[in-house]
Amino acid sequence: MNNPVRPADPDAIREAAGLLRAGALVAFPTETVYGLGACALDIRAVGRIFAAKGRPPDNPLIIHVSCLDDITPEVASVPEVAKQLAARWWPGPLTLVMPRGPRVPDIVTAGLATVAVRVPAHPVALELLRAVGAPVAAPSANRSGRPSPTQAQHVADDLGDRVAMILDGGATQVGIESTVLDVTSDRPMILRRGSVTLADLESCLGVGAVDSVNIHKDREAARRSPGLRHRHYAPTASVTLCQPKTAEALASEALRRGEIVAVLIRGEVGQTTLCLPERLDKERTNRVLMPHAAIDYARELFGCLRALDRLGAGALFIEEVPRDGLGGPIMDRLERAAEGSGQPR
């Protein structure tokens, strides 16, 4: 089988744009995670995204465009707050949910009256979008339920036999998916937390201007954001979230049961890289040191979960991180990973 991974040079990007225009699937890097792209106006091509990922059809897709002006044909109107936020964060890791324009196919929005749009801040993604000259629908390029891919190889591992090309633009910078903000009502509502935090949004719109409900427990958020209903971020290993300093004690029981066990602990202040053993010891609890600062932790998290699967880990014990700033979005993902883990796929 041909290897679909190609370094994202100008020739490959041009070729990828042609493939997208012809209805094929192309994975590409963004600043958050890799996306699995298809031409958003081509119903059959978008259908291939759902088939390749095994994605439930009620979970809508984000449309990617290269600049603010390009959203005009896809939305019914651009709310004033959307203009303000786009001026501040686009290109960037903020997805805006707006009233849907008439030409956006139902399959993209899962039949909702809204459409999610963003301009990614990655030179390869932007060059690709400009070369395609049409909006590109792209979920994270993982099999449904798995951790999102932060490297081209992760995409190849999950979807290598199902895509026409994977543009390799190196490891992604942010490491977790974009913030999803619904701007269709008077009070914008965060539907998925990401690296653009509540405090960031409030610094732009004013303190108290954004809904910061508990997005996992709030019914209204769940109704508006179908993505919250589905399993996500789960490695093959089972995941248990632990209070700080308790992971090793909890892990010892799994070790006695004969499982291959790893604990994920934050390193000391100043540790910016992931410290992962080359192989896992069956006889003891393997320590994985995560970067200390949330910004570095977020960048390494999904790759770490995938690496531990590859090393054969059976049970992961992950220490909670402080929930301030980017810690909140990280904890959302860890909680989802713990919920969905250890279940048959």
By a kind-dependent CB cut-off of 5 to 8 A, residue 114 interacts, out of ligand TXA, Mg ion, none, with ligand TXA
The residues in 139-178 that bind Mg ion, with binding defined as CB under 5 A, are 140
Kindly state the smallest distance separating residue 144's Cβ from ligand TXA, in Å: 9
Q: In this chain, which of 26, 45, 82, 114 binds ligand TXA, going by CB under 6 A?
A: 114
Question: CA quadruple 199, 202, 207, 212: dihedral positive or negative?
Answer: negative
From edge to edge, which strands make up the β-sheet containing 114-118? Answer: 5-7, 165-168, 26-28, 35-39, 136-137, 62-64, 114-118, 94-99, 179-182, 189-192
Instruction: Decide whether 159 or 260 has the Cβ nearer to ligand TXA.
Output: 159
Question: Contact region for ligand TXA (CB under 6 A) — 70-78, 158-166, 209-217, 222-230?
Answer: 222-230
CA-wise closest residue to 274 among 308, 250, 249: 308
Instruction: Decide whether 4 or 226 has the Cβ nearer to ligand TXA.
Output: 226
Examine residue 191 and tell whether it contacts ligand TXA (CB under 6 A).
yes
Helices (H) and strands (E) in the chain, counts: 11, 14
By a kind-dependent CB cut-off of 5 to 8 A, residue 30 interacts, out of Mg ion, ligand TXA, none, with ligand TXA
Examine residue 285 and tell whether it contacts Mg ion (CB under 5 A).
no
Burial of 113 (0-12, 13-18, 19+ CB in 10 A): exposed
Q: Calculate Rg over the CA atoms of the chain.
A: 20
Question: Contact region for ligand TXA (CB under 6 A) — 5-13, 158-166, 177-185, 316-324?
Answer: 177-185
HSE-up of residue 235 (Cα within 13 Å, Cβ side): 25
Cβ atoms < 10 Å from Cβ of 104? 24
By a kind-dependent CB cut-off of 5 to 8 A, residue 70 interacts, out of Mg ion, ligand TXA, none, with none
Examine residue 144 and tell whether it contacts ligand TXA (CB under 6 A).
no
| Host H or E run for residue 306 | helix 294-310
d(CA 167, CA 6): 5
DSSP 177: P
Question: Contact region for ligand TXA (CB under 6 A) — 137-145, 279-287, 300-308, 329-337?
Answer: 137-145
Examine residue 59 and tell whether it contacts Mg ion (CB under 5 A).
no
The residues in 61-80 that bind ligand TXA, with binding defined as CB under 6 A, are 61-62
160 three-class SS? coil
Kindly state the smallest distance separating residue 95's Cβ from Mg ion, in Å: 12
Instruction: Decide whether 135 or 145 has the Cβ nearer to Mg ion.
Output: 145
HSE-up of residue 33 (Cα within 13 Å, Cβ side): 27
Examine residue 60 and tell whether it contacts ligand TXA (CB under 6 A).
yes
Return residues touching ligand TXA (CB under 6 A): 30, 32-33, 35, 59-62, 93, 95, 97, 109, 112, 114-116, 120, 138-140, 177-178, 180, 191-192, 224-227
Return residues touching Mg ion (CB under 5 A): 140
